[in-house]
Amino acid sequence: MNDIYKSEGTTLESLRNLLNILGKPFRPGDRIGIKLHWGERGNKNFLHPMYARQIAAWLKDAGMRPFVFDTTVLYSGGRREAAESLKTAAEHGFTEEYLGCPVLIGDGMDGRDVIDIPGIRRHFDTVQVAGIIPKTDGFVFLSHFKGHMEASFGGAIKNMSMGMASRAQKQRMHADAYPVLIPDKCIRCGVCKEVCPVGAATLPEEGYPVYDLEKCIGCAQCIALCPQSALKIFWETDISVFQEKLVETAASIWKIIASNAIFINALIQVVTECDCVPGNHPKIAEDFGFIGGYHPVAVDEESIKTVGADKFDNAHPFIPWRRQFSYASEIGFAPRVNQQ
Ligand code: SF4
Ligand code: SF4
C-alpha cells in the first residue's frame, strides 16, 4: 500500500485522526516498537513525548504491546551510551510512567545487540542493525521532519536507516566525511576537541585546532557544535554517496519489516538542524501537522512537497538530497504514490 494521508494541525486529535485512517497492520498481542528520536541533550526542537504517548495508547487500545525505542549514536553527548541515552530520554519526558509503555535501547545496553542482514550489494553486502528488529512484531516510525546537515532533511528514511543502524553501520555511512577548518573564523575555543568522541581533534598550545583524519570517524559532531561555524564538511567521495548509503541501509531494513510498519512524519517545528544538535534552531516552515503512510520514501516525498523543496535547498545548499529519491528508484525501493 502506497497511499499517503495528511492530517493538519499539531493537536493530539489531529494525530489520532491520522492513526485511525492508517489503521493497524498488527495483531492483538503483537509487540510493537515505536521508533523515534528523543532529542540530544540541550536540543529544544525534538517532538513532545505526548505524541508517542498517544500512539502507545492507540496501540494498547487494540491489545498490542508497544514500547518506545532509539539506538545509541556515534558522537559524544547525551545519547552515545545506552544508560546516558535513557537518562536524556527521561529528562525530555520519555519515561515509562508518562508514556505508559517501556522505553528501550534497540541495540542493547552495551550497544552490542546487533545483527547482520543482507544489503542491496551496491555499497553494502550486509547491513548491521539493531538486534531489536527480529524481536519485534511491527513498527510505528514517528519521525520529526526537519533539516539535517548531511542529508538536508531528516524524516522517515533517516529514522529507519540511521535510527535503526548499529554504531558500526552508522560509521560505515558517515565514513567519507571529515571536518575542514576555516581559520579566519576560529576563536580557539576548544569545543571541537571537547566533543570529539575519538580524540581526533586536538588544540595545540598555539595555532589552530588539528584534525587527525586517520582517527576521525566522520561523525560531524565538531562541525555541528562549533560556535563560530568555523568547520565545514569535506567529503572524501562524492557527497551523493552518503545519500545513497542512507537509502541503501533503509532499503535493507525495509525488506524485513515492510508488511508490518507504518510511518508518521510530524511536520512540527520544522527547523534547519537535526534533533541530534543541541540548541534551538531556526524554523524554516510553519507547522503543518502529520503525514502518514506505509512506505518511508512516499511519506518523505510528500513531506518535502508540503514544506517546499526550496526550504531545504536554502537551509543546506549543495546537499544533493534529491539523490535519495533517485537512488531509491534505482534499487527498487520507491513506491507509486496515490494521494488522499
Ligand atoms: S570549535 Fe570551532 S571555533 Fe572552537 S576551536 Fe574548534 S574550530 Fe575553532
Ligand atoms: S574530528 Fe571527526 S570524529 Fe572528531 S568530532 Fe569531528 S567529525 Fe567527529
Ligand nearest the Cα of residue 221 is: 2
For the stretch 51-71, pLDDT in tens is 999 999 999 999 999 999 999
| Cβ 39 vs Cβ 275: under 8 Å | yes
Ligand number with the minimum distance to the CA of 186: 1
Instruction: Pull the grid cell for residue 226.
Output: 562549533
209 lines ligand 1 (CB under 6 A): yes
Position 10 pLDDT exceeds 50: yes
Which residue bears the cell 524554516? 284
Which residues surround ligand 2 with Cβ inside 6 Å?
179, 195-196, 198, 200-201, 211, 216-222
Q: From ligand 2's centre to the CA of 92, what distance in Å?
A: 26
- CA-based nearest residue to 264, from 7, 81, 1: 7
In the predicted structure, residue 78 carries a pLDDT above the cut 50:
yes
Distance 204 CA to ligand 1 centre (A): 12
User: If you search the block for the grid coordinates 494521494, which residue do you land on?
Assistant: 339
**Alpha carbons 54 and 65: distance in angstroms, whole number:** 14
The one-letter amino acid code at 164 reads M
- pLDDT the model gives residue 340: 44
The strand pair at 177-181 and 231-235 is best described as: antiparallel
Phi, psi at residue 281, to the nearest 5°?
A: -95, 155
219 CA distance to ligand 1 centroid (A)? 16
Pocket of ligand 1 contains residue 190 by CB under 6 Å? yes
The whole-number pLDDT of residue 9 equals 97
Q: Are 65 and 100 in contact (CB under 8 A)?
A: no
Look-up: residue for cell 541533550?
Answer: 41
Enumerate residues 6+ apart whose C-beta is below 8 A from 79.
40, 41, 70, 72, 73, 85, 88, 276
**Ligand 2 pocket mutation, candidates 75, 150, 234, criterion most atoms within 8 A of CB:** 75
Ligand 1 midpoint to CA 314 (Å) = 24
What is the b/e burial string over 202-220, where b = at least 16 CB atoms within 10 angstroms of the residue's CB? ebeeeeebebeeeebbbbb
pLDDT at 336: 60
Atom of ligand 1 nearest to the CA of 191: 1
Please tell me the pTM assigned to this model.
Answer: 0.88
103-105 and 114-118 strand pairing: unpaired
At position 8, the amino acid (one-letter code) is E
Instruction: Say how far residue 313 (Cα) sits from the centre of its chain.
Output: 19
Q: What is the pLDDT of residues 116-135, one digit of tens each?
A: 999 988 899 999 999 999 99
- What residues contact residue 274 under an 8 Å CB cut-off, 6+ apart? 146, 147, 148, 149, 154
| pLDDT band at residue 2 under the 50/70/90 scheme | low
- Answer yes or no: are the C-beta atoms of 111 and 64 closer than 8 Å: no
Which pLDDT score, from 0 to 100, does residue 197 have? 84
CATH 3.30.70.20 placement within the chain: 177-235
**Ligand 1: does its nearest atom lie under 6 Å from the Cβ of 195?**
no
Return d(Cα 146, Cα 308) in angstroms, integer: 12
Higher-confidence position of 234 and 337: 234
The CATH-assigned architecture of domain 177-235 is: 2-Layer Sandwich (3.30)
CATH 3.40.50.11440 spans which residues of the chain? 3-171+239-339
- Find the mean pLDDT for residues 34-48: 96
CA 281 / ligand 1 centre spacing (Å): 19
Pick 336 or 6 by higher pLDDT.
6
**CB of 293 closer than 8 Å to CB of 3:** yes
Q: Summarize pLDDT for 139-189 with one digit per residue, the tens.
A: 999 999 999 988 999 999 999 999 999 988 888 888 778 899 999 999 999
- Ligand 1 within 6 A of CB of 191: yes
The pLDDT, as a whole number, for residue 206 is 93
Q: How far is the CA of 212 from the centre of ligand 2 (A)?
A: 9
Tell me 39's DSSP state.
-
**Among 94, 336, 80, CA closest to 219:** 80
CATH number attached to the domain at 3-171+239-339: 3.40.50.11440
> What is the predicted pLDDT for the residue at 232?
85
CA 198 to centroid of ligand 1, rounded, Å: 17
Q: Is the pLDDT of residue 338 over 60?
A: no
Please report, for residues 64, 214, 240, the alpha-carbon distance to residue 204 in angstroms, rounded to integers and kept in the order given: 56, 18, 34
Rounded CA gap, 311 and 103, in Å? 34
Nearest CA to ligand 2 atom 8: 219
Mean pLDDT score, 263-277:
95
What pLDDT digit, counting tens, does each position of 311-325 carry?
A: 999 999 989 999 999
Min mean pLDDT across 133-137, 209-213, 221-225, 268-272 is at 221-225
Give the pLDDT band (50/70/90) at residue 31. very high
What are the C-alpha distances in Å from 19 to residues 82, 100, 188, 232, 264? 30, 18, 50, 40, 9
Rounded to an integer, the average pLDDT of 282-309 is: 97
